[in-house]
C-alpha cells in the first residue's frame, strides 16, 4: 500500500491517508478481507502521529471501507455496491458540471449537449 503525505497540502493529513486508502480500494489494489497495517506500525512507517492514523481509520470504518476487529487487526470491508455506485456518481457529477460549464461558456445549447451525450453514451 502506497501512502504519500504532502506536508504543504491544505488537506489535513488524516484526510490524505483516508483518500489514499479509498483510492487503493477503488482501484482494486486492496480487496475484501485484505489486512491493513496496524495503527501503530503505519504511524511509524509514514512518521505520523498514532492519533492521526486512528482518526483516518475510524472515519474509514464509519464510511464502510474497513472493519476494525479488536485483537485481530484492520481489514478491508466487503465491497458495498451502493457505496461504490455513490462514489462513481459523485465523480460523474463533478465531470458533468465541468462539461455543462464549458457548454454554457461556449453557447452550446442544451439540445446540442444532450446530442453529444447520446453519441458518447452510445445511443
* Residue 43: per-residue pLDDT: 94
pLDDT digits (tens, 9 = 90+) for 97-123: 999 999 999 999 999 999 999 998 886
Say if residues 43 and 49 touch (Cβ distance below 8 Å). Answer: yes
* Residue 123: per-residue pLDDT: 63
pLDDT digits (tens, 9 = 90+) for 40-80: 999 999 999 999 999 999 999 998 899 999 999 999 998 77
1.10.10.10, 3.40.50.720, 3.40.50.10860, 1.25.40.10: which CATH number matches 13-76?
Answer: 1.10.10.10
Cell digits of residue 118: 447520446
Exposed, middle or buried by CB within 10 Å (0-12, 13-18, 19+), for 39?
buried
* Residue 74: per-residue pLDDT: 95
Question: How many Å apart are CA 58 and CA 6, to the nearest integer?
Answer: 21
Of 86 and 66, the one with more pLDDT: 66
* pLDDT band for position 2 (cuts 50, 70, 90): confident
What pTM was estimated for this model as a whole?
Answer: 0.68
**Sequence spans of domains, the chain:** 13-76, 81-121
Q: Which of 8-12, 19-23, 54-58 has the highest mean pLDDT?
A: 54-58
Amino acid at each position: 500500500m502506497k501512502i504519500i503525505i504532502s506536508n504543504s497540502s491544505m488537506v489535513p493529513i488524516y484526510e490524505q491517508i483516508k483518500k489514499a486508502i479509498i483510492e487503493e480500494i477503488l482501484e482494486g489494489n486492496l480487496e475484501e478481507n485484505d489486512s491493513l497495517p496496524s495503527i501503530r506500525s503505519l504511524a511509524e512507517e509514514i512518521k505520523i502521529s498514532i492519533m492521526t492514523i486512528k482518526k483516518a481509520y475510524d472515519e474509514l470504518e464509519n464510511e464502510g471501507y474497513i472493519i476494525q476487529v479488536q485483537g485481530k487487526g484492520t481489514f478491508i470491508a466487503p465491497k458495498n455496491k451502493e457505496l461504490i455506485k455513490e462514489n462513481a456518481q459523485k465523480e460523474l457529477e463533478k465531470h458533468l458540471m465541468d462539461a455543462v460549464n464549458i457548454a454554457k461558456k461556449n453557447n452550446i445549447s442544451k439540445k446540442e449537449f444532450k446530442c453529444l451525450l447520446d453519441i458518447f453514451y452510445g445511443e
